[in-house]
Amino acid sequence: MCPGDDKRIVDVERAILRALCADSLPASIRDNANDRLRGYKWHDEEHWVVHQALQRLHGRHRISVREELPASATKLAFPDVNWPNYFGGEEVNKDGIEKLFSELKSLAKQT
């Protein structure tokens, strides 16, 4: 894998996590994506923390991911996540997440 590919896989990981952090994403899509990411070896430690925090919220009725994720990450002993990286930006629908997963799978095979 060339250095550009490594940066791209980190960017795709972040894009997936941003989509999962969007309150507008239907819970069924979020839960399915979280399930697909179980056991995935994250290329950025902060991404692992964000995913673990999302897993802690998995299946629970929630007021707002934006409100609950920082507390969940703090309980994991990671209070210093750069949350603006994960909240805001463009909304991603089911097709967009599928495209990101396809790219992530392709890039991960190269590592």
Give pLDDT tens digits for 45-96.
999 999 988 888 765 555 577 778 888 888 888 888 888 888 876 678 888 9
DSSP state of 85: G
CB 83 within 8 A of CB 69: yes
- Report residue 3's pLDDT band, with 50, 70 and 90 as the boundaries: low
Q: Which amino acid is at 70?
A: P
pLDDT of 4: 63
CB 108 within 8 A of CB 9: yes
- Report residue 109's pLDDT band, with 50, 70 and 90 as the boundaries: confident
pLDDT of 15: 94
Q: DSSP of 33-49, one letter per residue?
A: HHHHHTT---SSHHHHH
Tokens representing residue 21 in the block? 């952090």
pLDDT of 75: 85
Of 7, 77, 18, 88, the C-alpha closest to 47 is: 18
pLDDT of 47: 95
Report yes or no on whether pTM surpasses 0.85: no
pLDDT of 5-29, one tens digit each?
689 999 999 999 999 888 788 878 8
Mean pLDDT calculated for residue range 20-41: 85
CA distances 99 to 3, 28, 106, Å, are 22, 17, 11
